[in-house]
Amino acid sequence: MAEDTVQDDGKKSFLDSFAEFSAKVGNQVHLRSLRDAFATVMPIYILAGIAVLINNVVFPLFLAGDALAAAQYWGNAITQGTLNVATVVLAGIAGYCLAKNKRFENAIACVVIGIAALCIMMPQTVNSAAASISDFTELTYKSTTDASADAYAVSRDEVESGLAIPEGYELSSVSSSSVSNVFSKTYTGANGLFGAIIIGLVATTVFIKLSQNERLRVNLGEGIPPAVSDSFNTMFPMLITLSIFGLVAALLHGIWSTDLMSLINTCIAAPLKGFVNAGPWFIILVYTLANLLFCLGIHQSTISGVLAEPILTILITENMAMFAAGEAIPADHYMNMQIINTFALIGGSGCTLMLLADTFLFSKNKASKDIAKLALLPGIFNINEPVIYGYPVVYNLPLMIPFVLVPDLFIGLTYALTCAGILAPCVVMVPWTTPVFISGFLAVGGGSAGVVAVIWQVIEFALGMAIYLPFMKVSERVQAKQAAEAEAIEAA
Backbone angles phi, psi at 423, to 5 degrees: -100, 140
End-to-end CA distance of the chain: 23
Instruction: Return the half-sphere exposure (C-beta side, CA atoms, 13 A cut-off) of residue 474.
Output: 13
Amino acid (one-letter) located at 170: E
Q: Decide: residue 405, CB within 10 A, 0-12 exposed, 13-18 middle, 19+ buried.
A: middle
What is the rounded distance in angstroms from the CA atom of residue 239 to the CA atom of residue 211?
11
pLDDT by 10s per residue, the chain, length 492 = 444 444 444 445 566 676 677 667 767 889 889 989 998 999 999 999 889 889 888 898 888 888 998 999 999 999 989 988 999 999 999 999 999 999 998 899 999 999 999 999 998 766 544 444 445 566 676 666 666 666 767 666 665 565 666 666 666 555 554 556 666 677 888 888 999 999 999 999 999 999 988 888 777 666 667 666 677 788 899 999 999 999 999 999 999 988 999 899 889 888 888 888 777 899 999 999 989 888 887 778 778 887 888 899 999 999 999 998 888 999 989 999 999 999 999 999 999 999 999 999 999 888 889 999 999 999 999 998 889 988 889 888 899 999 999 999 999 999 999 999 999 999 999 999 999 999 999 999 999 999 999 999 999 999 999 999 999 999 888 888 877 777 777 776
What is the rounded distance in angstroms from the CA atom of residue 83 to the CA atom of residue 49?
9
User: In sequence order, what are the residues at sequence separation of 6 or more whose Cβ sits closer than 8 angstroms to the Cβ of residue 389?
Assistant: 297
What is the rounded distance in angstroms from the CA atom of residue 120 to the CA atom of residue 242?
8
pTM for this model (two decimals): 0.77
Instruction: Output the pLDDT for position 182.
Output: 63
The full length of the chain comes to 492
Name residue 138's beta-bridge partners.
Answer: 155
| Helical (H) or strand (E) element with 174 | strand 169-174
User: Hey, is 163 helix, strand or coil?
Assistant: coil
CB 413 within 8 A of CB 405: no
What is the rounded distance in angstroms from the CA atom of residue 301 to the CA atom of residue 480?
33
What is the rounded distance in angstroms from the CA atom of residue 333 to the CA atom of residue 315?
6
What is the rounded distance in angstroms from the CA atom of residue 379 to the CA atom of residue 346?
9
Q: What is the DSSP string of 195-247?
A: HHHHHHHHHHHHHHHHHT-GGG-----TT--HHHHHHHHTHHHHHHHHHHHHH
Q: Decide: residue 335, CB within 10 A, 0-12 exposed, 13-18 middle, 19+ buried.
A: buried
CB 168 within 8 A of CB 143: yes
Instruction: Output the pLDDT for position 335.
Output: 94
Residue 66, CA distances (Å) to 46, 51, 158, 162 in order:
27, 19, 21, 14
What is the rounded distance in angstroms from the CA atom of residue 306 to the CA atom of residue 289?
12
Instruction: Output the pLDDT for position 6.
Output: 42
**Is the torsion defined by CA of 204, 209, 210, 212 positive or negative?**
positive
Neighbours of 180 (CB within 10 A): 9
What is the rounded distance in angstroms from the CA atom of residue 252 to the CA atom of residue 255?
6
At CA 378, angle to CA 377 and CA 382, rounded to 5? 120
Of 442, 266, 480, 274, the residue nearest 363 (C-alpha): 480
